[in-house]
Structure 1
Amino acid sequence: MIKTLVVEDDPMVAELNKQYLEKIEGFQLTNAVSSAEDAIEFLEQNRVDLLLLDVYMPGINGIDLLRQIRQQNKDIDVILITAASQIDQIQNSLRLGIIDYLIKPFEYERFCEALNQYKNSRSTFLQKDKISQQELDILLQRTKEPPISHKSTKVLPKGLTRNTLKTIQQSILSYAPAHFSTSEIAESTNVSRVSVRKYLKFLKEINYLEEHLVYGVGRPIYQYRLNEHNQSVLSPYL
């Protein structure tokens, strides 16, 4: 479980963040505090993997807390959740190593996407000693594109979106080279099985995935595996 600390001085926003977090599998809320000072005290006594951090708070602000965490070399990842949208502040936050930046007000889907991308990236780093350049580009939310004059982006089938496709692809990469099922991808991404099935069908049709029918007790189950020799086929869709 990914131990998560919410640092937010607005009680309503803090409660909303907690409710959202509880919906996403793989995360455990360790505490919710209303100031950076309380966060510092909690971090001194408890292990935390992820900080959901506000910026504007009485006393020490979120950026200063983030800077202090980095100076102390604490192994804590940070997602900023704030109304602050100034470019210079966003740039400073990125330089301090945040993994995502959510501007209030935001929808649950964006919150869910941020946490699932983090969970999938973290899982990949924990499970593998080495990864390919393409895997790293995806984890950093980057895709290789040809020069603009030659750029050719393909249209996804109706009902599919690039953001969800990227989330599902990250989950697939965390399983590679092992087989996985629709249920496993749905569980790790918090996307419905019906939707996941559509994406896996599309990925199989473009030969990004290999599909196998496994017979056992009860109904046969479709298992999938990454086609490691044909990964580039997905790039035009991302």
Structure 2
Amino acid sequence: MIKVLIVEDDPMVAEFNKRYLREMKGFSFAGIVHNVRDAKDFLAREQVNLILLDVYMPGANGLELLHFIREQKIAVDVILITAAADTEKVQTALRLGAVDYLVKPFEFERFNQALNQYKDKYVMFEKKQVLNQEDLDSRILPSEQRQSGGLIEALPKGLTSSTLQIILNVIKSKEGSLFSTDDIAESTYISRVSVRKYLKYLTQLGVLEESLTYGIGRPVYYYILKKDNLTKVSIYL
């Protein structure tokens, strides 16, 4: 299990992040602290794998804690969470090794994406002593763009490979049965609007077959997986 510490001065935001975290498989909640001083004390007592770190807090800010972590060579990863995303602070965070940067307010979908991307890398590092080029290209280096045959294969704007993978995993679990947008949204905790975009894209690729059913109330689109065409989406994952 990946142990996660939440460092957030706003109790309500901290509680929401805690609830989000508890929806995630493979993660365990280690604790909440509300300032940098308490975070340092916590890290001195307990080992965690990941910190969800707010930038703007009374006294020392999150970037100062990130500096401290790197100076002390503490083996922990950090996802920054902040209401502001000015270029200088983002660059500083990335240079200090932040693995992701979430801008408030964010939905569970983006939170889910950030933590699942982190989990994929964490699990791979735990299992492998030596990485090859394929490992780096598929799991470590940015996955929104892949090179295939000299051409860059990119997802449409607004879609990410990690969320696509989550949705595909649920679709595969349907084992060839019909499903709707609501079915996928309920299983993934991703908004219906976002799920609809991914299902439409998979339909365009020929990975899904779409049908419209009329009944009581609004018409409902249903989908079924065309397993033979899954290779058409593999370059994006």
Bin for the TM-score computed over the shorter chain: 0.5 to 0.7
Does 2:134 match 1:134? yes
Identity of aligned residues (%): 46
Whose RCO is larger (CA < 8 A, sep 6+)? 1
Match for residue 85 of structure 1? 85
Tell me how large the CA RMSD over aligned residues is: 3.3
Q: CA deviation at 1:166?
A: 4.5
Q: Work out the CA distance in 2 between the residues paired with 1:147 and 1:13.
A: 45
Match for residue 145 of structure 1? 147
Q: CA deviation at 1:145?
A: 3.4
**1:83-162 mapped onto 2 (5 Å cutoff):** 83-139=83-139, 140-142=141-143, 143-145=145-147, 162=161
Q: Structure 1 14/152 Cα, relative in aligned 2: closer, same or farther at 3 Å?
A: closer
**1:155-194 mapped onto 2 (5 Å cutoff):** 162-166=161-165, 182=173, 191=188
Match for residue 62 of structure 2? 62
Task: Please give the per-residue CA displacement for 1:163-210, whole angstroms capped at 9, x wherever unaligned.
Answer: 4234579x9xxxxxxxxx949xxxxxx848xx9xx98996952465xx
How many residue pairs get aligned? The number is: 189
Q: Work out the CA distance in 2 between the residues paired with 1:40 and 1:128.
A: 30
Match for residue 186 of structure 1? none
Match for residue 15 of structure 2? 15
3-state DSSP of counterpart to 2:142: coil
Contact 1:117/1:167 (8 A) holds in 2: no
Match for residue 46 of structure 2? 46
Q: Structure 1 32/146 Cα, relative in aligned 2: closer, same or farther at 3 Å?
A: same
| Partner AA of 1:145 in structure 2 | Q
Q: CA deviation at 1:133?
A: 1.7
Match for residue 217 of structure 2? none
Q: Work out the CA distance in 2 between the residues paired with 1:113 and 1:75.
A: 22
Q: Work out the CA distance in 2 between the residues paired with 1:117 and 1:152.
A: 19
| Partner AA of 1:48 in structure 2 | V
| Partner AA of 2:121 in structure 1 | S
Task: Please give the per-residue CA displacement for 1:58-96, whole angstroms capped at 9, x wherever unaligned.
Answer: 111000100110011111000001112101110110000
Q: CA deviation at 1:144?
A: 3.1
Contact 2:49/2:77 (8 A) holds in 1: yes
Structure 2 unaligned runs (5+)?
A: 175-186, 190-194, 196-201, 209-223
Q: CA deviation at 1:141?
A: 2.3
Q: Structure 1 168/128 Cα, relative in aligned 2: closer, same or farther at 3 Å?
A: farther
Structure 1 unaligned runs (5+)?
A: 172-180, 184-189, 209-231
Q: Structure 1 36/132 Cα, relative in aligned 2: closer, same or farther at 3 Å?
A: same
Q: Structure 1 114/153 Cα, relative in aligned 2: closer, same or farther at 3 Å?
A: closer
| Partner AA of 2:11 in structure 1 | P
Q: CA deviation at 1:13?
A: 0.4
3-state DSSP of counterpart to 2:147: coil
Q: Structure 1 202/121 Cα, relative in aligned 2: closer, same or farther at 3 Å?
A: farther
| Partner AA of 2:80 in structure 1 | L
3-state DSSP of counterpart to 1:144: strand
